[in-house]
Amino acid sequence: MSATRSLTCCSAGNVSFGSSFTSRLRTRSSRGRALRVARLECVNAVKFASASKAGKRGEDASFTIQEKDKTFLAVYDGRNGADAAQYLKENFYNNFSKEMESAPPANAFVSAYVGTDKTMCTSTPPGLFGMFQARGIGGARCASTAVTALVMGDNVVVANAGDCRALAIKGDEVSQLTVDHTGESEEERARMEEAIIATLKEKEDVAARIAQRDPSKVFLYGDAVSRGTGFTWQLVQAGTSFPVGSAVTRSLGDAFLSSSDQLPRGYGMIAEPAVTTIPVSDASWLVLASAPVWKSLGNEEVAKACMSGGDADAAAKAVLAAASAKAGEDEDLTVVVAQLDA
């Protein structure tokens, strides 16, 4: 066992209790692939812990840190690779802290989400992707949704982009502090479809001009339509269809669906977060988790599992266990729990 500091972030395999020692705990599933990780930190009256299970893709990341008078918690749910989530784990808090120097937390979250997304989308990845001048961390289609929370003073400020959620639990009351940015939201669907149609119209105009010069290079663009909780829009060339879609309408690092110099409107993917502020007194527990947790369990089920734990460490493990029982082996699951009235 080794001494730990109060300044921490989650790292696979470490389990720390209080602020005096660190031990290692590994449990594996029957397939030998899922690694469960839990971390507990206690600073002043806030105790927090995380628990995760790596599935087939291993694209989740979490980050927790305590500095002076504030505690920061985050879950990043990656897609099409782990690079975007890992980038956020390593960089988002620093970006947010810089914004906090000149803005209140709610405004700082918005600026940090939008600014970090812009940096990610305009970055050139190393290796093969970079050789072909691809955009984005991990390639143009690698991205991550996010949920972040700041406990500071008398307030809890939560921000999210995508379908990661945060819950506040106080006695029998369970409050969702985030917005699910998916195609199930009429407002989000309308916003994204408007951007898609505008972009396709721009491309259609370009295609028409190209066709006038060279009829062999005619591109036809289908209308944008919503199907279920996702989106489908198609580029058709010589009778071949290339569907492209996303189940979420907001994320960070999606260079393929976001706006660019070539596509001013993009396909409607944005990183602007929903932000909610509540008094600390309105929550005894705070639960942040990646999307598969919420697809496996309802808010009330998560709250029940959390309350059964007793402390932050046990609560995080209980939520993870409940989600794991329903999600299956292939899903990445990440949970962060904060006990605010410890």
More reliable by pLDDT, 24 or 195:
195
More reliable by pLDDT, 67 or 286:
286
More reliable by pLDDT, 40 or 65:
65
Alpha-carbon separation of residue 194 from 229, 233, 250 (angstroms): 16, 12, 15
pLDDT value for 246: 58
Cα 277–chain centre separation: 19
pLDDT value for 226: 38
pLDDT value for 289: 98
**Per residue in 206-257, pLDDT tens?**
555 545 555 544 433 333 333 333 444 333 333 333 344 557 889 999 988 8
**In contact, 143 and 332? CB cutoff 8 Å:** no
**Per residue in 111-157, pLDDT tens?**
999 999 999 998 875 555 544 445 678 888 899 999 999 999 999 99
More reliable by pLDDT, 61 or 18:
61
pLDDT value for 191: 84
Quickly list H helices, 229-311.
291-296, 299-307
pLDDT band at 263 (very low <50, low <70, confident <90, very high): low
pLDDT band at 175 (very low <50, low <70, confident <90, very high): very high
> Ranked by mean pLDDT, which of 181-190, 211-220, 289-298 comes out on top?
289-298
Q: Is the pLDDT of residue 32 over 50?
A: no
187 Cβ neighbours under 8 A, 6+ residues apart: none
pLDDT value for 126: 57
Instruction: Quote the tokens at residue 147.
Output: 């949920």
Question: From the CA atom positions of the chain, what is the Rg in Å?
Answer: 21
User: Quick one: average pLDDT of 258-268?
Assistant: 69
CA-CA distance, 50 to 29, in Å (whole number)?
Answer: 18
Q: Is the pLDDT of residue 92 over 80?
A: yes
pLDDT value for 228: 37
pLDDT value for 114: 97
CA-CA distance, 234 to 257, in Å (whole number)?
Answer: 13
User: Quick one: average pLDDT of 161-189?
Assistant: 93
14-95+145-180+272-339 homologous superfamily: PPM-type phosphatase domain (3.60.40.10)
pLDDT value for 241: 38
pLDDT value for 137: 86
Domain extents for the chain? 14-95+145-180+272-339, 186-244
Using the structure block, give the residue that is written with the tokens 């829009």. Answer: 233
pLDDT value for 28: 35
